[in-house]
Amino acid sequence: MYSDEYDSANSNQLQVSLLSFEEIKKGKIESALKRVRASEEKTEGIYRGWMLKPNQYKQLYDGLLSKNIELTNNPIQYKFCHYLPESYDLIKEYTPKTTFKSLKGEFNISEFENEINAFGNKPIVIKDYVKSQKHYWKEACYIPDASNTEQVNSVISKFIELQDVDFNEGLVFREFIKLEELTNHSASGMPLTKEFRVFVRNNKVMATYKYWDEGDYQDVEPVLERFENVMSKIDSKFFTMDIAKKKDGEWIIVELGDGQVAGLPDNANKDEFYKKLRRNAGV
Ligand SMILES: Nc1ncnc2c1ncn2[C@@H]1O[C@H](COP(=O)(O)OP(=O)(O)O)[C@@H](O)[C@H]1O
Ligand SMILES: [Mg+2]
């Protein structure tokens, strides 16, 4: 999945090493990093790969540090953009109303009454602290009426079942907002909206991409001015801000993510991305 990025990084004279994601997941950090050459001088590093849980990221961070490579975001910075509840207070003004609570053991709706009742009978979407099951939109993401216990139970149960061992921490409930529609996803049928992924490096916008590779965005271009202030307050050297246009014309933040684990859409020019990364890294 990352071989194109590997080639682009290489051809832009960035030093690249491969690590084993599978070994990180198993907690075997030494073995995961056995192909990573230690640096003689302290050097900044960027991980590009699948999402890691905060404790796995910390192991990676510490493992690389012992090889003199300091990942661009420390574990606290990583978690800040990775877990929606961490950044919610900061981005509140720009993002749909959200409630959340950690989930230990089996799901029992009575323990989440406050979080769900906050939305009355409005439609909501659900996710865990990191991800949704958006491609199972009707079954496991969208709840048309938050006061309908049967609907709530069914969608949340399906969501938890699909997340399985990848479930992150707790449940997040968000007011459903009418966004400008694009098309329905050709594989899953999920309703796609005019969403953009903005990469921010060292507090500057580095690249902006159409989030979806299908559908016609027509002349919609992202308007970033509104977010400049909040962007500058986010304590992360490399993050993404996904934004979308509401039907009434206003722009909102859909979610933040750590830039190291945020996917590039197919429409992104990978060579350009690594060129920009190299430039912004001050190499
Ligand atoms: N509050 C919301 N109102 C309307 N649509 C939403 C809302 N939150 C998410 N969506 C839609 O659901 C998709 C998935 O939500 P997102 O929070 O980005 O989860 P994931 O982390 O799985 O990408 C978004 O791309 C957007 O199209
Ligand atoms: Mg998303």
pLDDT single digits (tens) 25-52: 999 999 999 999 999 999 999 999 999 9
pLDDT bucket at 281, cuts 50 / 70 / 90? low
For the whole prediction, is pTM greater than 0.75? yes
Give the contacts of 2 (CB within 8 A, at least 6 positions apart): 48, 49
- With pLDDT > 90 as the criterion, what percentage of the chain qualifies? 90
pLDDT over threshold 90, residue 215: no
Q: Tell me: pLDDT of 206 over 80.
A: yes
Q: Which residue puts its alpha carbon closest to atom 9 of ligand 1?
A: 254
Give 134 or 219, the one with higher predicted confidence: 134
The percent helix, strand, coil of the chain (3-state, each to 5) is 35, 20, 40
The token pair at 81 is 């953009």
CA 135 to chain centre: 15
pLDDT in tens, 47-73: 999 999 999 999 999 999 999 999 999
Strands 238-245 and 142-143: unpaired
165 CB neighbour count, 10 Å cutoff:
5
Provide residues with CB under 6 Å of ligand 1: 96, 125, 127, 131-132, 134, 174-177, 179, 193, 195, 242, 254-255
- How far, in Å, from the CA of 196 to the mean position of ligand 2? 10
